[in-house]
Amino acid sequence: MLPYQQLEIDNFIAQHVVKIRSEMEEHRKANRRRITAAVEDVIVNKLRAKEEEVDRMVKLNQALHEKVKCLSMENQIWRDLAQSNEATVTTLRTNIEQVTRHRARGADNAQSCCSSNNGGEEEDNNVNNGGNWCRKCGKEESCVLLLPCRHLCVCTKCGLGLNICPVCKSTKNASLVVNNKC
């Protein structure tokens, strides 16, 4: 082979190598672009999913805050009601203690005013049985305290329709059941 032929072959091979290198570089760039686009698509999809999840969490958080507000208000209402009931219980307990002390101090007077007036024998029977009978019907044990006179002299049935104390004839303002047996 002649030297100029060898030179032509070398030039041809060199040109072919340059052409193959540039084609390979173009293929690499195209592959990088495809891979980059695919990765970007995956990342964008994941970001959208995360944004949707964050939106759901924000909405859930708002709903939970509203629920907490409602429960807090309900809790305050129950607390106020409990305090009101405690005050009522305290007042009633004080009233019962006053009635009990008054009853203990005036047991003899209460016994005579709350017992039936049907005769000595029946009155002794009432005292011996440990009960004071209703001054209106005489059939049930007296367990209603009439206010303001504080006479314990009628049963619950008679106390409902009663406006005047059968003992002292004063007008009844209120009544209180003081015996659990009724």
Per-residue pLDDT tens over the stretch 109-150 = 444 444 444 444 344 334 334 458 899 998 988 899 899 998
pLDDT at 98: 86
pLDDT per position as a tens digit, 13-60: 999 999 999 999 999 999 999 999 999 999 999 999 999 999 999 999
pLDDT at 113: 45
> Which is it for strands 144-147 and 174-177: parallel, antiparallel or unpaired?
antiparallel
Instruction: Supply φ then ψ for residue 179, to 5 degrees.
Output: -125, 125
Please determine, for residue 11, whether its predicted confidence score (pLDDT) is greater than 60: yes
| Mean pLDDT in residue range 161-175 | 90
Mean pLDDT for all residues in the chain: 84
Q: How far apart are CA 69 and CA 65, in angstroms?
A: 6
Q: How far apart are CA 41 and CA 51, in angstroms?
A: 15
Output 130 or 67, whichever has higher pLDDT: 67
Which residues, at least 6 apart from 136, have a Cβ–Cβ distance to it below 8 Å? 154, 155, 158, 162, 166
Please determine, for residue 79, whether its predicted confidence score (pLDDT) is greater than 80: yes
pLDDT at 17: 96
Position of tokens 């002292």?
168
Q: Which two tokens stand for residue 39?
A: 């990765």
With cut-offs at 50, 70 and 90, classify the pLDDT of residue 177: confident
> Which is it for strands 151-154 and 174-177: parallel, antiparallel or unpaired?
unpaired
Local structure of residue 172 (DSSP, 8 states): P
Q: How far apart are CA 10 and CA 4, in angstroms?
A: 10
- Nearest alpha carbon to residue 117 among 136, 98, 142, 100: 136
3 state DSSP class of 165: coil
With cut-offs at 50, 70 and 90, classify the pLDDT of residue 179: low
Measured from the Cβ of residue 96, the count of other Cβ atoms closer than 10 Å reads 13
pLDDT at 37: 96
25, 29, 69, 166 from 18: Cα distances, Å: 10, 16, 75, 129
| Mean pLDDT in residue range 65-93 | 94
pLDDT at 2: 79
